[in-house]
Amino acid sequence: MRRAIAVWIGLLCCTVAPATGQRVAPAPAEWTRGAVCYEIFVRSFQDSDGDGIGDLRGLISRLDYINDGDPRTTTDLGARCLWLMPVAASPSYHGYDVADYYTVEPDYGTNEDFKQLVAEAHRRGIRVLVDMVLNHASSEHPYFQAALRDTASPYRRWFRFSPTKPAETGPWGQEVWHKSPLRDEYYYGIFWHAMPDLDYATPAVREEAKRIARFWLREMGVDGFRLDAIPYLMEEEGRLAHTPGTHAFLREYAASVRAESPDAYTVGEVWDSVGSMLPYYPDQLDSHFAFEASDAILRAVRERSAAGLLAPFLRLQRELPGNRYAPFLRNHDQTRTVTALQGDTAGARVAAALLLTLPGLPFIYYGEELGMTGDKPDERLRTPMHWRRRPGVGFTTGRAWRPLQPDSLTANVEALEGDPRSLLNFYRRLVHLRASNAALATGTLVPLRTSARAVAAYLRREGDTSVLVIANLGARAATDVRLDGDAHTLPAGRYAPTLLEGAATDLSTIVVRNDGRLRTMPMRRLPASSVQIVMLTALP
């Protein structure tokens, strides 16, 4: 059988419990407590040499914006880790078709520039994760070129070839078998003809993937990886995604990464429901992006309804530690938040508050904190960062590699950072609040019921610390809103509210009955599209 998975599954380096033989989850990384990560497209963040293309030296010059390393200041964003979209050499602008896994993209700089970036990030307490593209390589990769040219090449087994065109199509009905430019045969590439899939049934491919990881950990100093498109790593018996072979390889890969660097952090892209994501635990990658949870936030804000908002978060909480799943609002493949909300910047503010007060390890896509806009095609989702109110917006002194967004002279750092009410400063406050408040950092999510469909409410509880979050998703003020909870919502007693963030609230002293049920007096008015974050302090 072509996919002889069973032969090697038993050889994998899985972590097992000595007494039970059960697979064991990796220990949580301490730095993730209350942390937020920031996704950057290097090409679009900061150009240092005027060629219109962002580069590593430019990114180094902007690290203080992300985190200045001083815990006493709050004028930085406060992110504790960076996810860099692909930085390895590639013929495309986006880098997801890698031609050389051991060399930094020349447009961005050199391997030495990258090492300097890591050193400067570490000096500020920032972890660096790089995008690792394992599912496929570039059609210009030397190994694929050798496989195309010579049917006797050892690299033929690194890719999938067929003398005739199979009938199968991809998950979206797309062509996945592409005509060879050199002979009458076809090769497999699920995403694009210029991205031939690697064949992980071949032991040499698996070993090369681990060797690449060791290089970036050992030689380049990175702190972990974001792994692209992992459901499609192995195909079995006509099944294209979520196969047993994929899970087996990820166990092997993750064990190798941990053996090289026990503190390394891995996060995978499983663009699917929570139910489809859970089989990738406990002993594969450390975490995966929570697409369903992220969609729930945007849907709640867009539809102005709290129904369904908390369900995916509660399921994840039941199944996983909070540092092992990563919610977000938007990423480099998705319409930006403000555009998705049809220009509703107040709604974008509410969405940010939900993201940064709910459990998980949140990721923020660069420019979301400014309210940057952008829609498909992909290049328009990845346009240059807006820094200043002038031509080139402080990104470049030359001509930017892609035209700037129309709002670049208003939705930029210079225009927003002086306004304490701006979206940028709102993000900054919430990121720092999450880091400093135990309940928001790691607390249990406790859902509350409200008397208004447009109002969401929940508690985060950690030890004696409790924070109440109330969000009016509606376009109108909500009046006479009551909150209540199930038994054991809080220990019995009286609690005084202290506003941490948001418009002034008329929330009165909260009384929790002996059965632990919370009841509040009606709140007279919650402003439209508003969030109140309230510390609850037990009274004697």
**Residue pair 425/444 in contact by the 8 Å Cβ criterion:** no
Mean pLDDT by 10 residues, the chain (540 residues): 33 37 62 97 98 98 97 95 98 98 98 98 98 98 97 97 94 94 95 97 98 98 97 91 96 97 97 96 97 98 97 98 96 98 97 98 98 97 96 94 94 96 98 98 96 96 95 96 90 92 83 84 90 94
Nearest residue to 305 (alpha-carbon basis) of 456, 447, 445: 456
**Which one is catalytic: 269, 286, 344, 368?**
269
Residue 228 appears among annotated catalytic residues: yes
* pLDDT given at position 513: 86
* pLDDT given at position 516: 81
* pLDDT given at position 1: 34
* pLDDT given at position 28: 58
CATH superfamily of 443-538: Golgi alpha-mannosidase II (2.60.40.1180)
Cα 364 from Cα 80, distance rounded (Å)? 11
* pLDDT given at position 509: 82
* pLDDT given at position 4: 34
* pLDDT given at position 26: 61
Quote the strand ranges of 426-521, DSSP E.
Answer: 444-450, 455-462, 465-472, 478-481, 483-484, 493-501, 510-512, 518-519
What is the 3-state secondary structure of 88-148? EECCCCCCCCCCEEEEECCCCCCHHHHHHHHHHHHHCCCEEEEEECCCECCCCCHHHHHHH
> Is the whole-model pTM more than 0.85?
yes
Q: What is the pLDDT of residues 20-62, one digit of tens each?
A: 345 655 665 789 999 999 999 999 999 999 999 999 999 999 9
What single DSSP character describes residue 27? P
- Provide the residue count of the chain: 540
**Residue pair 158/198 in contact by the 8 Å Cβ criterion:** yes
- The CATH classification number of 5-135+201-436 equals 3.20.20.80
Residue 462 pairs in a beta bridge with 465
User: Which residue ranges make up each domain of the chain?
Assistant: 5-135+201-436, 142-188, 443-538
**Which one is catalytic: 199, 228, 252, 368?**
228
Nearest residue to 33 (alpha-carbon basis) of 121, 118, 119, 125: 125
Cα 313 from Cα 233, distance rounded (Å)? 27
* pLDDT given at position 520: 79
Contacts 24+ apart (CB under 8 A), 474-479: 474/304, 474/528, 474/529, 475/304, 475/528, 475/529, 476/528, 477/525, 477/526, 477/527, 477/528, 478/452, 478/454, 478/525, 478/526, 478/528, 479/524, 479/525, 479/526
